[in-house]
Amino acid sequence: MIRMSADAIKLLKPKVFDKSKWMQLPRDVVIGLDVIGQIPSVCEDLKLGKSALLISGKSTMRLAGDTIREILDENYTIKPFIAEEISMPVIKKAQKAAAGMDFLIGVGGGRVIDTAKIVSYNLDIPFISVPTAASHDGIASSRASVPTVEGHASLDAQPPIAIVADTGIIASAPHRFLASGCADIISNYTAILDWELAHRVKGEPISEYAIALSKMTAEILVKNSHIIKPHQEPSARFVTNALVSSGVAMSIAGSSRPASGGEHKFSHALDKLAPGKALHGESCGIGTIISMYLHGGDWKGIRASLKSIGAPVTPAEVGIDDAIAVEALLMAKTIRPERFTIFDTGLTRESAENLIQMLYRE
C-alpha cells in the first residue's frame, strides 16, 4: 500500500474551495409527456427528505404547482410559496419560509426557477427544477439572473439536483416563450466566438468540451428549425432537450461563457433601457445577428433561422425604438466589463447606428 505523506494530505485539503472549478451537474433529468407524475419517484430516488417548499407563480401554481402538491401530499409535507416577481425581498421571504425544509421545488418560468436556485444556494439545500416554459437555458444551469438597482446581475448559484420537464405543459405555453428559448440556444454560436476571441486576445482559458457541446446544441437546433412549431409536444421536447444540453455545457465550463457573450450583454443593456419589452432569449437573438455580422460569420443564416422559428429579428418587432437599441449596443461593453467580447473592439455611435439599420435590410 502506498502511504501519502503528511504534506501530500495537506495538499488535498485546500482551505478554500472554489466551487466554480467544480463540474456540478443535475442528477435526474426527466423530460417528456406527463412526466410530472414521476416527481415522487424522483424525490425518492434522490432521498431528498420529507419536506419541501414549493415555489411557484400565481398562474403556474394553478397550472402545475397544485397538481405536484396533490401527488406529493401523501408522503411529503409541501408548503406552497408564491413568488410573483424576482427581487431581493421575495428571495428573503422565500428563504424564511424554507427554513427547516429539506428541499425546494421551483415550478414556473425563468423568474421562479431563478428564485428557487438562489434560495437553494443560500440555504444549501437541493432544488428540483420544474419548468412550465422552455424560454431560456437557466432551467438547467448554475447561473441565476437577478434584477438589481444597476440592472441585471448574473449570480453564481448551483444547478438543480433534478429537472422534471413535462413537455405537455411546456407545449401549452405561448409560442413566444419557446421561440425565445430557441433564440437563447442560437446565441451559443456567438457566445463561443466571443470566448475564443477572449482566449486569443486576453489569454482567457477555454474548455473545448464545453465549446463542442454548446456549439453542437445550437447546430442541431438550427438544422431542425423547420420542425419547431407552436403548441406541438415534439417541438417542446426538442427545445427542452437543447436547453438542458446548453445548461450542461455551462456546468462543464463552470461559467456561462459557452452560452453567453456580447449578445447577452446587449440583452442585459436592453433590459435596463427598455424593461419588460423583450423576453431574455428574444433580445439575445437580435444581439446574435449583430455579433455574428461583426465576427464575419453567416449572420443572414442566423436571421433566417430565428425568423422561421418565429423569434423577432429587429427591435421594432419587440416594441423597442431603434435609438434605444443603439444605446444598448454602446452600453453592452460596460456590463460585466471583465467579459471580453466583440463589442469591446471599438464600436462608435455611427457604427452602432449602422448595425441596427442593417437588421432591417433584406
Binding footprint of Zn ion on the chain (CB under 5 A) = 184
The CB-of-260 to Zn ion minimum distance in angstroms stands at 6
Number of CB atoms found within 10 A of residue 184's CB = 35
Nearer to Zn ion, 120 or 154 (CB): 154
The CB-of-259 to Zn ion minimum distance in angstroms stands at 6
User: What CA–CA distances, in Å, run from 325 to 18, 94, 266, 306, 313?
Assistant: 37, 35, 9, 18, 12
186: phi > 0 → left, psi -120 to 50 → alpha, else beta; which? Answer: alpha
Nearer to Zn ion, 126 or 258 (CB): 258
- What is the grid cell recorded at 296? 464575419
Nearer to Zn ion, 184 or 271 (CB): 184
Nearer to Zn ion, 184 or 282 (CB): 184
- What is the grid cell recorded at 257? 461563457
Q: Based on the number of CB atoms within 10 Å of its own CB, is 144 exposed (0-12), middle (13-18) or buried (19 or more)?
A: buried
The CB-of-228 to Zn ion minimum distance in angstroms stands at 17
Give 3-state DSSP helix, strand, coil % of the chain, rounded to 5: 60, 10, 30
Q: Are 240 and 232 in contact (CB under 8 A)?
A: no
Residue nearest to Zn ion (CB): 184
Nearer to Zn ion, 138 or 315 (CB): 138
Q: What is d(CA 239, CA 255) in angstroms, rounded to the nearest whole number?
A: 22
The CB-of-345 to Zn ion minimum distance in angstroms stands at 22
